[in-house]
């Protein structure tokens, strides 16, 4: 049966199993930085083992949704569960790759140290790094093609290289749920390919990937589900049901020209 959940479903109780089986379930989330909410009354149920693109125009609340899911911003209202349990006790199961622009790249630290941060659970309170930890961090750098840069200062890398290092840190964490905020923004084609290959490999291993994504032309190739938002949820579901011209119009309004929509490989709805 086609699975299409529209924004009108919030407020209705969802069956318990959809929450308990979901790596990330959001109910009634409202976040406000000032008077106007950035995210309003949003429900979302990210499916285990799926690859979901969060899509919407600038300022639609996409980053805010991720930050609230990590407990980084405090919501006005709403509940977030991770694998059916409160976020607080499950935070370690989530790896996060922030938006590149939001990171202070001038802090003096080496690439390998950034990746070792992903091993914080193994390192314990004293943070003693042994040969095994180092080998694991190097292996993660290898997987994103950055092993040769291990000793380099993070500020001395290009934007795409920095993005790969942050992905390596997320890999080191060996999480089950990966949240990425525009992982392909400002990277070249080779880096984009390297990143999507890593994400698809994680997904094949059963990990859940949720990424804020701006390039509508690659949605169909990269993802199997979409979550459309413009402060409120517009729609969420499988590509075939949800990545439609009508939903894109609803999310972007006049900001997306009909010609742009016509060029996309959309679901036939
Ligand atoms: N720390 C903050 N303080 C005040 N307002 C904020 C803050 N962070 C975000 N906002 C506002 O909240 C709204 C949603 O921002 P958010 O970054 O979540 O949108 P987005 O969909 O990720 O946008 P983009 O595609 O441009 O990255 C915007 O109007 C933004 O200006």
pLDDT per residue as tens digits for the range 142-192: 999 999 999 999 989 988 899 999 999 999 999 999 999 999 998 889 889
Q: Among all chains, which residue has been given the structure tokens 């880096």?
A: 191
Q: What pLDDT band is residue 75 in, cutting at 50, 70 and 90?
A: very high
pLDDT at position 253, please? 84
Spell out the long-range contacts of 152-155 with Cβ–Cβ below 8 A and sequence spacing 24 or more. Answer: 152/110, 152/111, 153/108, 153/109, 153/110, 153/111, 154/105, 154/107, 154/109, 154/110, 154/111, 154/114, 155/105, 155/106, 155/107, 155/108
Pocket test for ligand 1, best of 62, 97, 212, 214 (most atoms within 8 A of CB): 62
Ligand 1 atom nearest residue 231's Cα: 14
Whole-number Å distance, alpha carbon 58 to ligand 1 midpoint, is: 8
pLDDT category of residue 8 using cuts at 50, 70 and 90: very low
pLDDT band with cut points at 50, 70 and 90 for residue 220: very high
Percent above pLDDT 90 for the chain: 67
| C-beta 61 within 6 A of ligand 1 | yes
Of 61-75, 88-102, 215-229, 230-244, the one with minimum mean pLDDT is: 88-102
Question: What are the sequence ranges of the domains in the chain?
Answer: 4-262
Mean pLDDT of 59-65: 96
Statement: residue 31 has pLDDT above 80: yes
Does 258 score more than 80 pLDDT?
A: no
pLDDT grade, residue 263 (50/70/90)? Answer: confident
CATH fold group of domain 4-262: Rossmann fold (3.40.50)
pTM of this prediction? 0.89
Model pLDDT, residue 11: 42
State the ipTM, two decimals. 0.97
Sheet order of strands, 24-32 included: 37-46, 24-32, 77-82, 85-86
């Amino acid at each position: 049966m086609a699975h299409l959940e529209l924004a009108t479903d919030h407020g209705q109780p969802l069956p318990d199993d959809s929450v308990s089986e979901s790596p990330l379930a959001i109910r009634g989330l409202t976040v406000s930085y000032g008077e106007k909410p950035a995210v309003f009354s949003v429900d979302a149920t990210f499916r285990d083992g799926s690859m979901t693109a969060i899509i919407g125009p600038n300022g639609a609340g996409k980053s805010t949704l991720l930050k609230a899911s990590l407990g980084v911003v405090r919501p006005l209202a709403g509940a977030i569960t991770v694998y059916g349990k409160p976020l607080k006790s499950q935070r370690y199961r989530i790896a996060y790759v922030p938006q590149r622009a939001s990171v202070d790249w001038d802090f003096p630290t080496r690439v390998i140290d950034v990746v070792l941060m992903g091993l914080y659970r193994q390192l314990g309170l004293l943070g003693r790094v042994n040969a095994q930890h180092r080998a694991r961090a190097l292996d993660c750098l290898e997987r994103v093609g950055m092993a040769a840069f291990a000793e380099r200062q993070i500020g001395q890398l290009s934007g795409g290289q920095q993005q790969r290092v942050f992905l390596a840190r997320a890999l080191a964490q060996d999480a089950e749920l990966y949240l990425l905020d525009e992982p392909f923004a400002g990277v070249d084609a080779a880096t984009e390919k390297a990143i999507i290959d890593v994400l698809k490999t994680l997904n094949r291993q059963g990990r859940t990937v949720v990424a804020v994504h701006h390039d509508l032309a690659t949605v169909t190739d990269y993802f199997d589900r979409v979550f459309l938002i413009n402060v409120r949820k517009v729609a969420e579901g499988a590509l075939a049901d949800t990545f439609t011209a009508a939903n894109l119009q609803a999310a972007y309004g006049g900001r997306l020209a009909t010609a742009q929509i016509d060029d996309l490989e959309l679901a036939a709805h």
